[in-house]
Amino acid sequence: MKFVLVNHRTPFGTPSCRHCSRPLGVGYLREIATRRPYCDHDCYRRDETRRAFTPWFAASGPTSELATGHAASLGLMASLTAAACWGYALPLSAVAISLVQTALGMRDLMTKEVVLV
């Protein structure tokens, strides 16, 4: 937790909190390592917790400014993508199970002896 409290100054560009996307006022927090602005300590703490538990989701590099501008929207898109993947995976697994059962049934039919009367 390394941050600086900036008083009596607004950030340059489009000032908005990196966690909740609210507009920043005259006083705000700025993380030292990444220079991300936050509206208050609670938003900073929530964003640190989210990044600690999902490090693969935290963007870094020159595109981090664009990727983390709307963290709530990105989280929603990730959740919907995961739900869509499960939506496709579950029916496909049901189809695969039914195909295996059909193949096993065909094997039983092919191995039976035919008795002619």
Angstrom CA distances, 76 to 53, 82, 101, stand at: 16, 10, 38
Percent of the chain with pLDDT over 90: 0
Other Cβ atoms less than 10 A from the Cβ of 39: the count is 21
Task: Answer yes or no: pTM beyond 0.75.
Answer: no
pLDDT at 109 (0 to 100): 66
Question: Could you tell me the sign of the dihedral formed by the alpha carbons of 61, 65, 66, 71, in that order?
Answer: positive
pLDDT (tens digit per residue) in 34-66: 778 888 888 888 888 887 776 655 555 444 555
Percent of the chain with pLDDT over 70: 56
* Contact present, 71 and 18 (Cβ < 8 Å): yes
* Contact present, 19 and 46 (Cβ < 8 Å): yes
pLDDT at 84 (0 to 100): 73
pLDDT band (50, 70, 90) for residue 4: low
The mean of the pLDDT values for the chain is 72
pLDDT at 100 (0 to 100): 80
The residues spanned by each domain of the chain are 3-69, 70-117
pLDDT at 63 (0 to 100): 46
